[in-house]
């Protein structure tokens, strides 16, 4: 029991994932600043932001449904932390997970978005509701592609639903991104996690310039700090998930540590560069991009993997 609590709260759960995500969030902002020829924020900036928000007043709008409004960030944080535990335990080689943990991870990764939708719907603010409806449509568009990618990975790694088995398969047969179908799946997966993280081409749910902060407009103080922490955790675990599924996972011995960190930073770098070189899409464009473009790409990759390419 005690070690489960340790896994959940400290390593590799809440504290570790939040600290790693904070560092990656700084990396993201620093790269953004360097792309724009600016100097960028100091290293501890994400942590200052969260600690400051914890010390501020938490406001509840008068017309809101108070319980869903206040509990939604808690559920989102719990879902993200559980996903972090289930992804990071096998990838650090601490436990070997259980049969079917890939499906559990898939479900936990959708919990933050759905909780935020419920929270935003409970505020009674029209802009928040607009953001929530956009997020809902975005989920509908990218989840099918995400699920097809997971199915293709399960097929390619010999019909296993276990994350630890996928890592073992890649240790013996090379990384899954090493084949043509693997590269196509990797491209589609990068766009899916871009949409899951709500980064710029797909940030219409919280578009700063049109619906101010969208889903998060009414959150302040402690509850907004929880939202920030959830986003840090997602920024850490989704690139880790990509590394585990496609790039051969992490190694924790000798120079393997440097390689593992470099893989993670490279994935975040790609996400940041996509974010900095693209304008925000309209909702219809994003849906068309996922429904037509990404789904066809993933199905093509699936067919290629049937022929062993």
Partner 1 sequence: MGVKDYCFKKSLWVFHFGGASCNNCDIEILDCLTPRYDIERFGIQLVGSIKHADVLLVSGSINRKCRDRLLEVYHQAPKPIVVVAFGACGCSGGVFADGNPFNGPVDQIIPVDVYIPGCPPKPEAIIAGIAKLINKKAG
| Binding residues for partner 1 (CB under 8 A) | 29, 33, 36-42, 44-45, 48-49, 51-52, 55-59, 208-209, 212-213, 216-221, 224
**Nearer CB in complex with partner 1: 191/224:** 224
- Structure tokens belonging to residue 118: 């419920």
Q: Closest distance between partner 1 and the C-beta of residue 143, in Å?
A: 27
Nearer to partner 1, 135 or 218 (CB): 218
CA-to-CA separations, 214 to 120, 168, 307, in angstroms, rounded: 8, 42, 45
Quickly tell me which residue has 């996972």 as its tokens.
249
162 φ/ψ angles, rounded to the nearest 5 degrees: -110, 130
CB of 224 to partner 1, least distance (A): 6
In this complex, which beta carbon is closest to partner 1, that of residue 48 or of residue 107? 48
Quote the least distance from Cβ 41 to partner 1, whole Å: 5
Residue number with CB closer to partner 1 (45 or 295): 45
Consecutive H or E run containing 229: helix 221-246
Least spacing, CB of residue 150 vs partner 1, in Å:
35
Query: Is the peptide bond preceding residue 73 cis, with omega within 30 degrees of 0?
Result: no
Residue whose C-alpha is closest to residue 60's, from 243, 222, 183: 222
- In 83-198, which ranges are E strands? none
**What is the smallest separation between the CB atom of 162 and partner 1, expressed in angstroms?**
41
How far apart, in whole angstroms, are the C-alpha atoms of residue 56 and residue 77?
19
State the nearest-atom distance from the C-beta of 86 to partner 1, in Å.
31
Question: Which lies closer to partner 1 via its Cβ, residue 56 or residue 171?
Answer: 56
Residue located via tokens 């929880």: 226
> Residue 60 or 144: which CB sits closer to partner 1?
60
For residues 17 and 215, which CB has a smaller minimum distance to partner 1 in the complex? 215
Of 121, 109, 108, 127, nearest in space to 69 by CA: 121
- C-alpha distance from residue 118 to each of 7, 66, 125, 183 (Å): 28, 11, 13, 36
Nearest CA to 164 out of 88, 272, 75 is that of 88
Q: Are 111 and 79 in contact (CB under 8 A)?
A: yes
Count CB atoms within 10 A of the CB of residue 186.
20
Q: For the CB of residue 217, give the shortest distance to partner 1 in the complex, in Å.
A: 5
Nearer to partner 1 by Cβ, of 33 and 65: the residue is 33
Least gap, CB of 267 to partner 1 (angstroms): 24
């Amino acid at each position: 029991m005690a070690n489960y609590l340790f896994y959940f709260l400290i390593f590799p759960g809440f504290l570790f994932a939040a600290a790693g995500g904070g560092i990656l969030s700084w990396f993201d902002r620093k790269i953004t600043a360097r792309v724009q020829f600016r100097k960028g924020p100091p290293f501890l900036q994400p942590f200052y932001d969260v600690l400051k928000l914890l010390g501020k007043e938490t406001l509840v709008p008068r017309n809101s449904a108070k319980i869903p409004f206040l509990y939604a960030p808690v559920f989102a944080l719990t879902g993200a932390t559980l996903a972090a535990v289930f992804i990071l335990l096998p990838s650090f080689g601490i436990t070997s997970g259980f049969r079917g943990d890939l499906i559990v991870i898939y479900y936990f990764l959708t919990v933050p978005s759905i909780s935020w939708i419920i929270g935003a719907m409970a505020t009674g603010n029209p802009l928040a509701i607009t953001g929530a409806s956009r997020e809902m449509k975005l989920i509908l568009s990218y989840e099918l592609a995400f699920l097809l990618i997971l199915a293709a990975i399960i097929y390619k790694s010999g019909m296993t639903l276990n994350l630890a088995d996928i890592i073992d398969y890649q240790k013996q047969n090379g990384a899954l991104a090493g084949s043509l179908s693997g590269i196509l799946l990797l491209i589609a997966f990068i766009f899916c996690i871009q949409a899951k993280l709500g980064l710029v081409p797909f940030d219409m749910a919280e578009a700063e310039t049109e619906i101010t902060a969208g889903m998060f407009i009414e959150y302040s103080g402690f509850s907004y700090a929880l939202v920030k922490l959830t986003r840090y955790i997602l920024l850490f675990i989704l690139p880790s998930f990509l590394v585990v599924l496609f790039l051969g996972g992490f190694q924790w011995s000798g120079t393997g540590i440097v390689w593992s960190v470099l893989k993670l930073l490279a994935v975040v770098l790609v996400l940041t560069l996509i974010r900095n070189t693209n304008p925000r899409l309209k909702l219809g464009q994003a849906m068309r991009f996922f429904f037509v473009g990404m789904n066809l790409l993933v199905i093509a990759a699936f067919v290629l993997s049937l022929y062993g390419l």
